[in-house]
Amino acid sequence: MGTFTVLDDADVAAIAQIFGLGPVTAWRAIAAGTINSNFAVTAGGARWFIRVNEGKSVEDVGWEAALCRHLAAGAPVAVPRLTLAGDPFATHRGLLVSAFGWLPGVHRDPGQVTVDDARGTGAALARIHLAGADFTPHRDGIYTPAHIAARFAGFRDRPDPALAEAIAILGDELAGLDAAAPIRAAAPRGIIHGDLFRDNVLFADGAVAAVLDFEQASWGSLAYDLAVAINDWAWDGAVRVEIVRALLEGYDRVRPIDVPMWQALPIEVRGAAARFTVTRITDVYLPGIANPDKDFRDYLARLVAWRTGDLGRVLDAV
């Protein structure tokens, strides 16, 4: 994790002027995030979160801003500030920059997640799905089954002992996902967050204060979106059954889980674990990036747990 774009005092002052934030009195880079460069800025007597959107098009940044503004009418979603010209982002030095009011709150570490946290997170995700039902235009996600299969094909034949177990398991899982395509396709689709990890949710006063980072948002499977959350929130070295149950209860109370979604859910839980195993191999392990927080083995362990009976035990308990 780190900062990919370096700013100086003049850059920050210029960005603050574009957004009408007032005089800058303090700022610092935030060494968190694997995609963008983020900064904490104090200007005009208030705190702001400034994001340099790395590797995105104007269309991408504009779409995400419009989506957040739309979702915020019905869900706890952080909305980017408009520039003085009324634009959803600033252009400075060729950079596409977003600004957010600083939101008080904290993230949950794995061992800190409570049943109430999980129930609130499930409810927030359901509100996002409901609020996004009438949002247009749609955009497709990049992590499609074909995309993940292509990534896997790129390392499937590597003679690397560290990957041997992962390759064997992933080959079997991806074949199973292909066979289950009709069940997956029958589940409801809509706007999904795509990356509802713990570090994308802020809590304040014991409740969900805001859902952050809609960079992977797209049109996709609602069951998959819930499955991504289950994989992250309900794992602390082993599956936490009570957290899975609470996530599903919170979601179902706001947006009832219908039969096609329920049938797809166990498939998508394993599919999400396979997806993150693959992308952490291709994006972190193979390039030799030292990032212990993105070790593919963590998601391989989840996949093994789901394959060896934990998934059935969890869903039977709901």
Residues 45 and 127 in one domain: no
Residues 13 and 115 in one domain: no
Show the CA angle centred on residue 64, arms to residues 55 and 24, nearest 5°.
Answer: 75
Number of other residues whose CB lies within 10 A of the CB of residue 50: 28
Specify if 4 maps to a domain.
no
Residues 31 and 159 in one domain: no
Specify if 125 maps to a domain.
yes
3-state secondary structure of 77: strand
CATH code for the domain in which residue 193 is found: 3.90.1200.10
Q: What is the mean pLDDT of residues 214-219?
A: 95
Residues 222 and 165 in one domain: yes
Q: How confident is the model at residue 3 (pLDDT cuts 50, 70, 90)?
A: low
Q: How confident is the model at residue 4 (pLDDT cuts 50, 70, 90)?
A: confident
Residues 92 and 114 in one domain: no
pLDDT at 312 over 90: no
pLDDT at 1 over 50: no
CATH code for the domain in which residue 30 is found: 3.30.200.20
**C-alpha pair distances (Å), 300 with each of 61, 85, 158, 211, 275:** 32, 47, 17, 26, 10
End-to-end CA distance of the chain: 36
Residues 32 and 169 in one domain: no
pLDDT at 130 over 60: yes
* C-alpha–C-alpha distance, residues 178 and 223, integer Å: 16
pLDDT digits (tens, 9 = 90+) for 59-77: 999 999 999 999 999 999 9
Specify if 3 maps to a domain.
no
Specify if 203 maps to a domain.
yes
The reported pLDDT for the residue numbered 35 is 77
Q: What is the mean pLDDT of residues 212-222?
A: 96
pTM of the model: 0.94
Q: Which of 46, 67, 101 is the last residue of a domain?
A: 101
Q: How confident is the model at residue 165 (pLDDT cuts 50, 70, 90)?
A: very high
Q: What is the mean pLDDT of residues 143-148?
A: 94
Residues 123 and 60 in one domain: no
pLDDT digits (tens, 9 = 90+) for 253-310: 999 999 999 999 999 999 999 999 999 999 999 999 888 889 999 999 999 999 987 6
The reported pLDDT for the residue numbered 166 is 98
Q: Do the Cβ atoms of 187 and 223 come closer than 8 Å?
A: yes
pLDDT at 34 over 70: no
Q: Which residue range is the domain that position 255 belongs to?
A: 110-316
- Report the domain count for the chain: 2
Residues 230 and 116 in one domain: yes
Number of other residues whose CB lies within 10 A of the CB of residue 204: 12
Residues 236 and 122 in one domain: yes
Q: Which of 60, 77, 101 is the last residue of a domain?
A: 101
In Å, the largest CA–CA distance within the chain is 58
* C-alpha–C-alpha distance, residues 140 and 318, integer Å: 31
What average pLDDT is seen over the chain?
94
Residues 91 and 116 in one domain: no
Specify if 2 maps to a domain.
no
Specify if 180 maps to a domain.
yes
Residues 186 and 243 in one domain: yes
Residues 52 and 80 in one domain: yes
Q: How confident is the model at residue 133 (pLDDT cuts 50, 70, 90)?
A: very high
Which residues are registered as beta bridge partners of 235? Answer: 239
Q: Which of 43, 72, 101 is the last residue of a domain?
A: 101
* C-alpha–C-alpha distance, residues 197 and 52, integer Å: 21
* C-alpha–C-alpha distance, residues 157 and 135, integer Å: 42
Beta-strand (E) ranges in the chain?
Answer: 24-30, 37-43, 46-53, 90-92, 95-101, 189-192, 201-204, 207-211, 218-221
Distance of CA 88 to the CA centre of its chain: 21
User: b or e along 21-43 (b: 16 or more beta carbons within 10 Å of the residue's beta carbon)?
Assistant: beebeebeebeebebbbbbebbb
Q: Which of 310, 287, 272, 297 is nearest to 165 (CA)?
A: 297
Q: Which of 11-15, 68-72, 142-146 has the lowest mean pLDDT?
A: 142-146
